[in-house]
Amino acid sequence: MRTERVVLGLIIVTLSVSGLIVWNLFAGQPPREEFGFYRAQIQEDREMLRELQTSPTTERRIPAAPISTGKAVSAVPASSGNVQYYDPEDGQVYQVGYDGRNQEVLSPTKLPGFVGTIWSPDRQEVISEFVSGGRRIFKYFDYATKRSATLNSAIQNVVFSPQGDRIAYFSRTADEAGVVLAQPDGTLPKKILNTRIHQMELAWIDQSTIAVVRTDAENSHRELFLLSIEGKFTKLAGPLSGLQARWSRDGTKALISYFDESGKLQLAEILRSSGTIRELAIEALASHCALTSSSTTAVCAVSQTPISLAAVEAQTKTPEDFYEIELSSGSKKLLFSSGSRSARAHVADMFLSPNEQYVFFINSFDEKLYSFRR
């Protein structure tokens, strides 16, 4: 159907050019500028037609478009049909429709030193990161009550519980490190793990379990652990080079990515219950994927060229194509392709709308928020 539309458009443009030639001949006006424009248009349509005829996944080439007018960070689904995000330049909060319409400022307050925000599940509370005097500072804010608090100065990273009633954070000082549970405003802290580990990434995957990615200080090897809120620490996977994990909503499985012994990027599915790892034969970073609520399908951004661990650590930006992947079979279907004719995309963050019909991502190339329909 799309091919027919392009062919029809090409015919219409060609007839328009013919009419322009005749009109200019009789009007005695030089048609050079108009001819140049229409020749370019015809060439562009011919290139599109060639792509349509040669691409086996043409019907899924759905274009992505920016929906934020400026840069965006910490984007999340909001009320029906809307997304909220922060402007990293000044910390103001915006809301915009899935299609980029009806953008409005929700919070005009400018936040000096703002870096990013972690939202509570109900979007009523946030913990924002700031940089001041070369130090990282985490601050709590409740949009409903307007209450704020500055959290422990030793915090390295922090997450909300799935119910939003507590937070967990990894803190480190010169003398000690550990994982602490607390109220969202930082009160009533309770340490559940003492450790000598210098770097931990937390993900609270169900009400009683926190997933921990531990990084070895001497190399890029990482290990994946499960930490109960009672403090039980269980290894699930690793050590693996460049390990990343993206958990399902119910916390029963995760997509993990790592670099094998040959340096090739691998994407795999891991089951929490058994630790069983099943490779998907797809070269994608877990952080560049989003799982559907059923955990049977994922949308992943895949680099158009092979990438290395060094490139990931250097945050190298390579154009990526977006695929819908069936985890049971590993089959993939193209959703959106970066290229000269469309937006060049490299994911900094990606998520799905609540109805899972839209894909949202922050594009590292221009730092804007984008969307497209699956």
pLDDT at 374: 87
Cβ-contact 231, 193 below 8 angstroms: yes
What span, in angstroms and rounded, lies between the C-alpha atoms of 363 and 14?
37
pLDDT at 44: 39
Per-residue pLDDT, averaged over 172-189, amounts to: 94
pLDDT at 66: 94
User: In which residue are the tokens 């000044």 written?
Assistant: 90
pLDDT at 198: 83
Give the residue from 202, 180, 201, 200 showing the smallest Cα distance to 192: 180
For 297, the token pair is 């399908």
pLDDT at 80: 82
pLDDT at 75: 97
SS3 17: helix
pLDDT at 177: 92
Per-residue pLDDT, averaged over 273-279, amounts to: 94
User: In which residue are the tokens 């809120």 written?
Assistant: 229
For 165, the token pair is 């009633």
Per-residue pLDDT, averaged over 88-98, amounts to: 95
Phi, psi of 36 (to 5 degrees): -60, -40
Residue 24: pLDDT band (50, 70, 90) is very low
User: How much is the mean pLDDT over the chain?
Assistant: 85
pLDDT at 37: 36
Please check the confidence at residue 319 and state whether its pLDDT lies above 90.
yes
What span, in angstroms and rounded, lies between the C-alpha atoms of 73 and 349?
8
SS3 45: helix
Per-residue pLDDT, averaged over 298-304, amounts to: 97
pLDDT at 13: 42
Cα 35 to Cα 11, 16, 244: the distances in Å are 16, 11, 53
Give the residue from 132, 47, 151 showing the smallest Cα distance to 91: 132
pLDDT at 134: 87
What span, in angstroms and rounded, lies between the C-alpha atoms of 364 and 369?
10
pLDDT at 10: 43
Please check the confidence at residue 350 and state whether its pLDDT lies above 90.
yes
Reported in sequence order, the residue ranges of 3-90 that DSSP labels E, i.e. its strands, are: 65-66, 73-77, 82-86
Please check the confidence at residue 117 and state whether its pLDDT lies above 60.
yes
CA 83 to chain centre: 14
Strand partners, 95: 84, 104
SS3 148: strand
Cβ-contact 270, 256 below 8 angstroms: yes
pLDDT at 183: 98
For 270, the token pair is 């891991």
